[in-house]
Structure 1
Amino acid sequence: MRILTISGYKSHEIGIYKQSDPAVSIIKKALKQQILANIEEGLEWILVSGQLGVEMWAAEVVIELKEQYPELKLAILTAFEQHEEKWNESNQEMYQQIVLNADFVDSISKKPYQNPQQLRNKNLFHLSKSDGLLIIYDDENEGSPKFLWEMAKEWSKKEDYSLTQINFQDLQWLVEESQMDDD
C-alpha cells in the first residue's frame, strides 16, 4: 500500500476538548502502530482532510514519524476552502503548524462550504486517491465517520482497497496494555 487515507471521529464526537486528554495519546499510539506496520509494506503518503480530532492527531503522528522515515509524506486535502475559519484560535494555530509541516495541502472544492455534497465529494476523492483506509470508528457509536466508512466498504467491493478499522474495544486494549507496561 503506497497511499493511506486516515479518518475518524471529530474530537467533540468523542468528548475530547483538550490536547492534554489522556485519550489523545492512546489514539495516537493506535494510529502510530498502524502507520508503522504500513511503512514496512511500502507506505509513502498519508491523506487526511484536516478535520479536528483523529485526522489532526494522525497528521501529528506522521510529522513525528517523518524524522525517522523522511520518505513518508503528509497530504491535507480539505473538502472546501477555509474549512478551519470557524475554529477557535488555538485550533487554528495547531492547524497552521500542521499545514506548515505537510508535504501537500489543497482543497477539493475551491469554494467555501456550500452544501453536504462537498463532503461526499471529499470522501469519494480520498477513496479514489488512496489504496486503503485506516479509520477510528465504532459501529456502535455513530458519528460523522459513518459516511466515509459506509462508502469505503462499498468501494472495497469493487476495488482492491484495504480497510482497517480501530474501534473502542481496540483502544481499550491499548489502555490496558499501557497500564500493564507501567506496572
Structure 2
Amino acid sequence: MDQIKTIYVSGYRSFEMGIFKEKDPKIEIIKNSLKKEIISYIEMGLEWVLVSGNLGVELWAAEVVGELKNDFPELKLGIIFPFKGFGNNWNEKNQHSLEKVKALADYVNSVSHQPYQSPAQLKGHTTFLLEHTGGSLLVYDKDYEGKTLFFLREAERFSERFSYDIRLITMDDLQNSIE
C-alpha cells in the first residue's frame, strides 16, 4: 500500500443518524472510531485530514483531529468547502459549530469561489477531493443510504483507475466498538 499523506473524512450528516443534541452518546462512539482509524493512518505517514464542513461526521472528525494534534502536532486539518458561503444559511447553533471547527483548521478554502449556483459545484468539489487525497475514511454503511453515497460511488469509480484507499466505518463497526 502506498503511503497516504492526505485523506478525506466524511459520512452521515447528524440528522441522517437521528442525532440532534451535542451530548448524544452516539457522537462519542463515532469520534472514538474515527480517532482509531485516523491514528492508524498517522502511523503510516498521514499528514493532512480534509473535511468539507458538513454537519455530523465531518465536524466530529475535525474535532477529533483537533484533539489528535496534541499528540501528533505535525497533523494538519483542512476544510475545503464546495462553494463560497457554505453554511451561511444554517441556524445559529450550527454556524457556531462550524466556526469552532474552522478555528481548529490549518487551511480553509472553497473549490468554487462563487456562492451556490448548481450541482456542478458539488461535482467539482468531489473531483477536487479525489484528486487531492490518497484515500477516504467514511462513516457509512451501504445498508443505510445517505448523502455520502454520492461521494462513495465516485470514489469507487476513481479507485478503478487510480490507487485510492477507501475505508468504511459501518454500523456493525460502530456497534462492535461499543461492546
Post-superposition CA distance 1:133-173 (Å, at most 9, x none): 10011111111000000110111111111110111111110
Q: Tell me, yes or no, if structure 1 residue 34 matches structure 2 residue 41.
A: no
What does residue 124 of structure 1 align with? 127
CA distance in 2, matches of 1:137, 1:124: 19
TM-score by length of 2: 0.96
What does residue 58 of structure 1 align with? 61
CA distance in 2, matches of 1:16, 1:54: 11
CA distance in 1, matches of 2:73, 2:46: 12
CA distance in 2, matches of 1:97, 1:160: 34
CA distance in 2, matches of 1:75, 1:106: 8
- Cα distance, 1:84 vs structure 2: 0.8
What does residue 174 of structure 1 align with? 177
CA distance in 2, matches of 1:43, 1:68: 14
What does residue 180 of structure 1 align with? none
Unaligned runs of 5+ in 1: 177-183
CA distance in 1, matches of 2:170, 2:122: 23
CA distance in 2, matches of 1:79, 1:106: 9
SS in 2 for 1:174: helix
What does residue 75 of structure 1 align with? 78
SS in 1 for 2:87: coil
Q: Tell me, yes or no, if structure 1 residue 148 matches structure 2 residue 170.
A: no
SS in 2 for 1:68: coil
Amino acid at match of 2:27: V
Amino acid at match of 2:139: I
Amino acid at match of 1:93: H
CA distance in 2, matches of 1:14, 1:120: 24
Post-superposition CA distance 1:64-103 (Å, at most 9, x none): 0011111000000000111111111111112111111200
TM-score by length of 1: 0.94
Percent identity of paired positions between Structure 1 and Structure 2: 45
- Kindly report the root-mean-square deviation, in angstroms, between the aligned alpha carbons of the 2 structures: 0.8
Name the one with the larger helix percent: 1
CA distance in 1, matches of 2:69, 2:78: 13
What does residue 87 of structure 1 align with? 90
SS in 1 for 2:144: coil
- Cα distance, 1:115 vs structure 2: 1.4
What does residue 159 of structure 1 align with? 162
- Cα distance, 1:175 vs structure 2: 1.6
Post-superposition CA distance 1:20-41 (Å, at most 9, x none): 1011000001100000001100
Amino acid at match of 1:19: E
CA distance in 2, matches of 1:117, 1:170: 33
What does residue 107 of structure 2 align with? 104
Amino acid at match of 1:127: L
CA distance in 2, matches of 1:121, 1:12: 25
